[in-house]
Structure 1
Amino acid sequence: MERNDLLEWALYLAGMGWPIFPLAPGTKNRPMVKDWENRAHRDTDRIRRCWNTGRFNIAVATGPAGLVVLDPDVPDEGKPGPDGWTNLTALAAERGGPLPTTYTVATPSGGRHLYYLTPAGTSLRNSQSAIAAYVDVRAGGGYAVGPGSVTAAGAYELLDDTDPVELPGWLVQAAAERASTANSAPVQIRSVDTTRYGSAALAGECDRVRRAGPDTHNAVLSAAAYTIGRKVGANLIDHATARAALIDAAGHMVTAGCDCTAREVARVVDAGLSAGARNPVAHRAA
């Protein structure tokens, strides 16, 4: 019997714990099922029945799989500027990285797919060139073409079978910032009682930081600092007051038996406040 390599890859990816679904043979953007995000599965019997009927490419449903796949690609021919990998490594240097080694698939265009675990308590969606030029994010609502798949441009090849590691906090923060800037209309705050509003917002975010579990420390603290930073940028909260309150609220993170240190807590708070201040909330006169 002829070896069915695509079936083997499909079973392998399902064995990784990732729900999959078929793509039309030779394609990367033609799902063979409707509502694929909800119908993706890991059932080996169904996979065998499906892939024994045709040489379907394989899609990993990133949201149900609990994955965030970064897709740093190369510019289309004739377009200027550095490629996605260069931009992603520059972002890592700017944010204090590093970009951790993880499960990696080479794409036919010369790019790569970096598979990361979605941190607990976070919810990320697809984006295109939002965190950096030519760097797409495949998360909720998206899928990644799995290794073994073949298109006219070439094959998707497994480069590194390292088990996926958790998406680092600085990338969670970068994705959240860009999503907020790109998708949210400016929040309008009346100028009356701005001190009261700012104090209430700070108290709420500090309470969220205090309740963060060990597996969500970085993500929650980054998000809280960014949220408050937007108020600092709008002069609704004093920077020094906000910084001191957030660091105090995160005190339990240093003594919780995880890898957090006082220095790291301060770094995350400072980065979040600075990033948020660059995208301040808007407020108008009463």
Structure 2
Amino acid sequence: MTTHLLTAALDAAGRGWHVFPLRPADKRPALHGETACSRTGDCAGGHSKWEDRATTDPDRIHRAWTTGRFNIGIATGPSRLVVVDLDAVKAKDPKGTPDGATSLQALCERAGQAVPATYRVRTASGGHHLYFTAPSGIRLTNTAGLLGPHIDTRAWGGYVVAPGSTVNGHTYKVLDDAPVTPLPGWLLDLLKPADRPTEPVRLSVPRRGNRAAETALERETALVASTPEGGREAQLFVSARKVARFVGWGDLTRHEVEEAFQRAGEAAGLPASQCRSTLRSVMNWSLANCRPRETA
């Protein structure tokens, strides 16, 4: 156990930020992966990801950080944070590529805005993390390069390494301990997803002669595609699980079911990577636990 890491984890939780352990001196989660999940404890109802297990509970934090020298991850979505990640230039980048800080400065100049003053952290690679409180009523997700070269953002589905953690011998340090300010409106306008049509999305589904399976797939993908913000991933999980049994029974193929739900999830506004991850988890569990079809 390293006291300063426990203290840093508790400090983050005290700010209302949901934390989870990362591998020692690394940025990867220390929690077990989906393929190694025993479906017990926190995962009794299905594999529980790091975003679900991130916590502000001091007792859970003490138990975790007294067992090893874990770095600290902050799950940005549950913490109601949007973190703008300004990366340093990498050796493989073409000559003249701006770093994230330079790209942000240029972005602000084009928008006629000052670089936002907020809580700022220097990363192990020499980049910066700018912390903002997430807006109400809209669920932002991660972006990569949307705002400019070497500018990523982390929100729902993402995490950042917290101050106090060390990677490659370099420590994440607070550069500006200013209060975390709300995400500026002009940045929100650039990050929020495009408006979707109000008309229900209609998706074609494969026709193979099994009416019950085809009807279920058509109904559930339509539900996913038309789910409003805030419940899209949950609906994708529930709907895919309902249809997965038809894959186990041989009425539909896994590929066509995953492809149909992938289209539906993206049509609803979910990131493609989030759809793939959720569908992989649902299908793996459902097929491993599929019961035989009941007969009369």
Q: TM-score range by the shorter chain?
A: 0.5 to 0.7
Return the alpha-carbon distance in structure 2 between the equivalents of residues 135 and 151 of structure 1: 20
Indicate the residue corresponding to 1:106 in structure 2. Answer: 122
Q: 2:179 matched to 1:163?
A: yes
Equivalent in the alignment of 1:60: 74
Deviation string 1:258-281 (CA, Å, 9 cap, x unpaired) is xxxxxxxxxxxxxxxxxxxxxxxx
- Tell me by how many angstroms 1:32 deviates: 1.9
Aligned residue identity for 1:104: R
- Displaced runs of 4 or more, over 6 A: none
1:96 CA drift (Å): 2.1
Equivalent residue for 2:167?
Answer: 151
Structure 1, residues 62-110: CA drift from partner, whole Å, max 9, x if none?
Answer: 0000000000111211413111111111111111222221111101111
Distance 2:186 2:63 in 1: 42
Amino acid at match of 1:45: D
Say how many residue pairs are matched. 181
Q: How does 1:133-148 map to 2 (within 5 A)?
A: 133-148=149-164
Aligned match for 2:87, one of 73, 96, 114: 73
Paired AA for residue 72 in structure 2: I
Deviations 1:1-21 (A, max 9, x none): x86110000000000011110
Query: Structure 1 residues 88, 163: closer, same or farther in 2, change over 3 A?
Result: same
Counterpart Cα distance in 1 of 2:115 and 2:86: 13
Give the structure with the larger helix fraction.
1
Give the TM-score of the pair, scaled to structure 1: 0.60
Alpha carbons 1:109, 1:153 under 8 Å: kept? no
- CA-CA distance at 1:162 after TM superposition: 1.0
Partner residue of 1:40 out of 14, 35, 54 = 54
Partners of 1:31 and 1:54 in 2: how far apart?
10
Deviation at 1:163, TM superposition (A): 1.3
The 8 Å contact of residues 128 and 137 in structure 1, kept in 2 or not, is answered as yes
Q: Secondary structure at the match of 2:8?
A: helix
Answer yes or no: is the 8 Å Cα contact 2:88–2:127 preserved in 1: yes
Tell me which residue corresponds to 2:219: none
State how far apart, in whole Å, the 1-side matches of 2:31 and 2:166 are.
Answer: 16
Distance in 1, matches of 2:2 and 2:194, equals: 48
Encode CA deviations 1:4-54: one digit per residue, 9 max, x unaligned: 110000000000011110001111123425511111111101111110110
Partner-residue secondary structure (3-state), 2:117: coil
Structure 2 stretches lacking a partner, 5+ long? 33-47, 200-296
Matches within 5 A, 1:193-212: none
Do 2:145 and 2:151's aligned partners in 1 also have CA atoms closer than 8 Å? yes
- Determine the C-alpha separation between the residues in 2 that align with 1:153 and 1:127: 27
Cα separation, 1, equivalents of 2:29 and 2:55: 17
Moved more, 10-19 or 118-127: 118-127
State how 1:200-279 maps to structure 2 within 5 Å.
none
1:50 maps to amino acid:
A
TM-score, structure 2 normalization: 0.58
- CA distance in 2 between counterparts of 1:168 and 1:98 reads 11
Aligned: 1:49 with 2:48: no
**Structure 2: which amino acid aligns with 1:128?**
A
Query: Over aligned residues, Cα RMSD in angstroms?
Result: 2.1
Alpha-carbon offset, residue 165 of structure 1: 0.1
Change (3 A) 1:175 1:31: farther
Larger strand fraction of residues:
1
SS at match of 1:130: coil
Is structure 2 residue 133 aligned with structure 1 residue 117? yes
Give the 3-state SS of the residue equivalent to 1:65 in structure 2: coil
